Amino acid sequence: MDRLKGKVAIVTGGAAGIGKATVKMFLTEGARVSFWDVNPEAGKQCLGELGLSDDQVEFRQVDVTQAEQVQSATQTVCEKFGSLDILVNNAGITRDATLLKMEERAFDQVIDINLKGVYLCGQAAAKVMVEQGNGVILNASSVVGLYGNFGQTNYVATKAGVIGMTKVWARELGRKGIRVNAVAPGFIATEMVKQMPEKVITMMKEKAPLQKLGEPEDIAAAYTFLASDEAKFINGAVLSVDGGLIS
């Protein structure tokens, strides 16, 4: 407990799924958190569920593809909480189709949110962290970014790109006191996955040696560890949390 005491964190896509679990765990570990989401209803609902004071947690409606929104929100968070110690680049979407059927708009949407959004948020946070002389940036990749997946040209491209950016930033920012790492989840039982047909969920379970889906809290725990001083010598790493899916 209290592994993140005194730290200020931004979690993008924080109103549901892995992001929401991360917000909760960070708060439990003593951090103050600003979570961002493009969906105001989900954000307000999550904030109400947390039931904490405004000086501990806040919600901001932010579109991570819009540079001005990202920069303004980052600045406001720093002014309110006094620093920015952790960024979790979690926001992301899928628009799946095979290469022959994928529409250009679906490709662009996923690239904008999953890759450009990570770049914009990472850049805004890094500028603050460089001035402080310390900080942690954690990027959401995926096991498919390492090994590919049928019907996900756009999504896989973004998650592979996130790994590449993570390694570049680790080199560029490490000397300035900032650690940058990525987490690559496998099949996780988010709200979206739970709505899939049972046969698809069964197939997912059977693919992993542990024979089960991960929970959002499993990924949140990985983020918490990497954000804490326990991981102070880990930089430029990609942590797979996938139940041994690729082993």
The verdict on residue 63 lying in a domain is yes
- Backbone φ and ψ of 31, nearest 5°: -80, 155
**Amino acid at residue number 85:** D
The verdict on residue 83 lying in a domain is yes
What DSSP designation does 49 have? H
The verdict on residue 202 lying in a domain is no
The verdict on residue 114 lying in a domain is yes
86 contacts 5 by C-beta, under 8 angstroms: no
Q: State pTM to two decimals.
A: 0.95
pLDDT digits (tens, 9 = 90+) for 144-196: 999 998 999 999 999 999 999 999 999 999 999 999 999 999 989 888 778 77
Residues marked active site are found at 155
The verdict on residue 208 lying in a domain is no
- Backbone φ and ψ of 134, nearest 5°: -165, 160
Distance CA 172, CA 116 (A): 18
Q: Under DSSP, is residue 174 helix (H, G, I), strand (E, B) or coil?
A: helix
The verdict on residue 28 lying in a domain is yes
pLDDT digits (tens, 9 = 90+) for 214-237: 999 999 999 999 999 999 999 999
Which of 178, 176, 148 is CA-nearest to residue 163?
Answer: 148
The H or E element spanning position 68 is helix 67-81
The verdict on residue 58 lying in a domain is yes
Angle between helices 153-174 and 104-111 (to 10 degrees): 20
Q: What is the CATH number of the domain that holds 222?
A: 3.40.50.720
Chain-centre distance for alpha carbon 244 = 21
The pair of structure tokens assigned to 12 is 């993008």
HSE-CB at 51 with a 13 A cutoff on CA atoms is 1
Which of 53, 63, 60 is CA-nearest to residue 32?
Answer: 53
Phi-psi region of 135 (alpha: psi -120 to 50; beta: other; left: phi over 0): left
The H or E element spanning position 185 is strand 178-185
The verdict on residue 206 lying in a domain is no
Counting the structural domains of the chain, the total is 1
Distance CA 120, CA 63 (A): 11
- Return mean pLDDT, the chain: 96
Residue 246: predicted pLDDT: 74
Residue 247: predicted pLDDT: 59
Distance CA 221, CA 215 (A): 10
Please check the confidence at residue 133 and state whether its pLDDT lies above 90.
yes
Range of the domain at 131: 8-186+217-241
DSSP 108-158: HHHHIIIIIHHHHHHHHHHHHHHHHT-EEEEEE--HHHHH--TTBHHHHHH
Distance CA 12, CA 103 (A): 26
Percentage of residues in the chain with pLDDT exceeding 70? 100
pLDDT digits (tens, 9 = 90+) for 74-119: 999 999 999 999 999 999 999 999 999 999 999 999 999 999 999 9
The position carrying tokens 């002014």 is 79
